[in-house]
Chain A
Amino acid sequence: MASTAAAQPQLKKTGSTGFLSRLRGGDEVARLITLLFATSVLIVTALLITELWVSSGPSREKFGFSFLTSTTWNPVTDEFGAWPFLYGTIVTSVVALLISVPIGVGAAIYLAELAGGAWSDALTFLVELLASVPSVIYGLLAIFTIVPMMREFIGPALKTVFGSVPLVQDLVAGPVYGVGYLTASIVLAIMIFPYIISVSREALMAVPREQREAALALGATKWESTWQIVVPFARLGIIGSVFLGFARALGETMAVTMVIGNDNNIHASLLSPGNTIPAILASEFNEASGKLHPSALIELGLVLFLLTLILNGLARLLILVTTRKGSARA
């Protein structure tokens, strides 16, 4: 495109494919510029890891691996352990998934397979809307409706139903404050289920029409075709949506900070207040002073980063395994 009339004959004569002539063609320029942009991904990742690693230095040196297992978090005595927050993060996220995956996947199946045109489109629009609501809004919703509901109805109801069931009773022991692990899980579940619906629905819609028709043509009912053929066909996408939701739940800060209760001790009961890594980072970082406290908080950040990294690895592994098992690619 940039080649001039004067340059062209020369090009032909020499048959040159050197850098300059390619530069004139524009391809090389485009390659270099886009390469530069692509490199920014590497740079940001490297900066992130370096910063987390270096700044958490004092804490890492002082506590070593016991940082992960220690349950004490005491800024006054400069003793720091990550376990209560790691525990809180994982528990709230897993419970949130237990709540939202069945609902989300079920809703996605309805929207993609069973609902009629306009109705499905309208609901899908709402789902996308929900997915874009800022998390602080969900936090407000939680404080003003879910926390009171938890205190008045859900908590007492759970205690009545499971209070004397062996094994499960510990999960609902203790007083009901309204805030706590389960409240945070419910908020998280509400926040991630639009993602699960949206991504699962896309995956289901991408299943070739011929797959549905093949099942129907063999005498399967609509539901049999959906459940036995379409859903398994889309399972990679559905698993992807679950991991996306999981990642979002792990990192969610604002809404969780508002309802988790900010208790730096571990409690077995889901009705008890607790804390998560993002929540304690948000609530303590401003006031952290000295050398060790900020450093320990940054190490918490590092732990969270590694957790999401491991999660990503697991997701890849799961996809690899399920792909090998009969599915091959779509």
Chain B
Amino acid sequence: MTPMRAKSAPPSTDMNDTSEAIVPDQTPSAKSHPAPQSGPVPQAAARPAEAKMQAKNVNFHYGTFKALHDISLEFPANKVTALIGPSGCGKSTFLRSLNRINDTIRGARIDGEITLDGEDILKMDVTSLRRRVGMVFQRPNPFPKSIFENVAYGIRVNGLASRSELPGIVEKSLRRAALWEEVKDKLQESANALSGGQQQRLCIARGLAVDPEVLLLDEPCSALDPIATAKIEDLLVAIKDQCTIVIVTHNMQQAARVADSTGFFLLGKLIEHDRTDVIFKNPSKKETEDYITGRFG
């Protein structure tokens, strides 16, 4: 074990580091070996194979309230990153900054830098950003349309495929979201007739249909029962080879189950970010340990 590393600072950003993926089950001591050119910086524990998205010194204000303080965090490609912390700690705000959905809130202001493949998202066309960075919300929010139309919406609105290709894409997306078998005979029925867990998987299918590079999930299982939750967790692990996943969760077991790395937020600050097993077994900050062990929050 290599305890007490200063991880609240982001790992130095060596974008050329293309070392292979880190298997989450590896023991912490093994973590520095796959990246020889990362050289003498062993504390870069959560060093990404390649940062898909990266936040640098992000501050966020709702009017006069400062919700995020100087957050720097990177999201490695094809990994699941979990953001945990007590309610109101800013993790959802941070997540919602990554596709600029917070832009729609009056009085919201952001500074700092967030990049997607090295490109500043604050300068990007917001609709193309959101097509590339999909989102699944806390409560299932299917459109009051048919199941088919729900999944097809993103394709249609972005003009991504012809009418004849739609059924194929819808099927593929529903399969990826592990929902196809349950709904294949009722694609034209209202999405509102599905159960909560099915609706949430439908929302994931809807998000996947536009083939996003990053998928943001804002407490996607908080309204679901354990069985539906387990299905969604399996699904996340299954799709991460196709996109980078960031998930906000209140459920620490969930973070432990699905995430490759985990960031702990408290009062608008990123307290600690590391590989998930390190965060849960050997956190370097007292606040993290207190939260993990249930002493508050």
B141 touches A328 (CB 8 A): no
- Which B residues are in CB contact (< 8 Å) with A35? none
**Interface residues in B199-235 (C-beta closer than 8 Å to A):** 203, 206-207, 210
Interface string of A310-329 (1 = CB under 8 A from B): 00000000000000001111
B8 CB within 8 Å of chain A = no
Q: State whether A219 and B158 are in contact (beta carbons under 8 Å apart), knowing that A213-B104, A328-B192 are contacts in the complex.
A: yes
Interface string of B94-113 (1 = CB under 8 A from A): 00000101001010000000
A164 CB within 8 Å of chain B = no
Across the two chains, which residue of chain B brings its CB closest to A229?
A: B143
- Which B residues are in CB contact (< 8 Å) with A326? 144-146, 149, 189-190
Q: Which candidate, A25-33, A153-161, A182-190, A220-228, is the interface stretch facing chain B?
A: A220-228
- Which A residues are in CB contact (< 8 Å) with B154? 218-220
| Range, interface on chain B | 20 to 34
B144 touches A218 (CB 8 A): no
Interface string of B171-209 (1 = CB under 8 A from A): 000000000000000000110110000000001001100
Contact of B131 among A213, A218, A224, A330 (CB under 8 A): A218
Q: State whether A217 and B128 are in contact (beta carbons under 8 Å apart), knowing that A210-B141, A224-B157, A228-B157 are contacts in the complex.
A: no
A232 touches B144 (CB 8 A): yes
Contact surface of A with B, Cβ cutoff 8 Å: 116-117, 208, 210-221, 224, 228-229, 232-233, 326-330
B62 CB within 8 Å of chain A = no
Would you give the shortest CB distance from A227 to chain B, in whole angstroms? 11
Q: State whether A215 and B153 are in contact (beta carbons under 8 Å apart), knowing that A221-B127, A232-B144 are contacts in the complex.
A: yes
B130 CB within 8 Å of chain A = yes
**Complex CA distance for A221 and B144, rounded to whole angstroms:** 19
- Which A residues are in CB contact (< 8 Å) with B144? 232-233, 326-328, 330
Contact of A217 among B135, B139, B145 (CB under 8 A): B135
Would you give the shortest CB distance from B205 to chain A, in whole angstroms? 12
B193 touches A217 (CB 8 A): no
- Which B residues are in CB contact (< 8 Å) with A327? 144, 190, 192
A211 touches B127 (CB 8 A): no
- Which A residues are in CB contact (< 8 Å) with B190? 326-328
B157 touches A208 (CB 8 A): no
- Which A residues are in CB contact (< 8 Å) with B158? 218-219
Across the two chains, which residue of chain A brings its CB closest to B143?
A: A229
Contact surface of B with A, Cβ cutoff 8 Å: 99, 101, 104, 106, 127-128, 130-131, 134-135, 137-139, 141-146, 149, 153-154, 157-158, 189-190, 192-193, 203, 206-207, 210
Closest CB pairs A-B (n = 7): A219-B131, A218-B154, A328-B192, A210-B141, A217-B135, A327-B144, A220-B157
Across the two chains, which residue of chain B brings its CB closest to A220?
A: B157
**Complex CA distance for A211 and B203, rounded to whole angstroms:** 11
Would you give the shortest CB distance from B53 to chain A, in whole angstroms? 15
A117 touches B106 (CB 8 A): yes
- Which B residues are in CB contact (< 8 Å) with A217? 99, 101, 130, 134-135, 137, 207
B192 touches A219 (CB 8 A): no
Across the two chains, which residue of chain B brings its CB closest to A210?
A: B141
B135 touches A213 (CB 8 A): yes
Q: State whether A219 and B128 are in contact (beta carbons under 8 Å apart), knowing that A229-B143, A330-B144 are contacts in the complex.
A: yes
User: A-B pairs with CB below 8 Å: how many?
Assistant: 81
**Complex CA distance for A212 and B101, rounded to whole angstroms:** 10
- Which B residues are in CB contact (< 8 Å) with A220? 127, 153-154, 157
Contact of B130 among A116, A117, A219, A228 (CB under 8 A): A219
A218 touches B192 (CB 8 A): no
**Complex CA distance for A220 and B135, rounded to whole angstroms:** 13
B127 touches A219 (CB 8 A): yes
**Complex CA distance for A208 and B135, rounded to whole angstroms:** 16
**Complex CA distance for A221 and B129, rounded to whole angstroms:** 11
A213 touches B137 (CB 8 A): yes
Would you give the shortest CB distance from A154 to chain B, in whole angstroms? 40
Q: State whether A211 and B193 are in contact (beta carbons under 8 Å apart), knowing that A217-B134, A220-B157, A228-B157 are contacts in the complex.
A: no
**Complex CA distance for A221 and B127, rounded to whole angstroms:** 6
**Complex CA distance for A226 and B70, rounded to whole angstroms:** 34
- Which B residues are in CB contact (< 8 Å) with A214? 135, 137, 141-143, 203, 206
Q: List 24 A-B contacts (CB under 8 A).
A: A210-B137, A210-B139, A213-B135, A214-B143, A215-B143, A215-B157, A217-B99, A217-B207, A218-B130, A218-B131, A219-B127, A219-B128, A219-B130, A219-B131, A219-B154, A224-B157, A228-B153, A228-B157, A326-B190, A327-B144, A327-B190, A327-B192, A328-B190, A329-B192
Across the two chains, which residue of chain B brings its CB closest to A217?
A: B135
**Complex CA distance for A221 and B158, rounded to whole angstroms:** 9
Would you give the shortest CB distance from A177 to chain B, in whole angstroms? 48
- Which B residues are in CB contact (< 8 Å) with A116? 106
**Complex CA distance for A232 and B138, rounded to whole angstroms:** 22
Would you give the shortest CB distance from A232 to chain B, in whole angstroms? 7
- Which A residues are in CB contact (< 8 Å) with B203? 214
Across the two chains, which residue of chain A brings its CB closest to B141?
A: A210
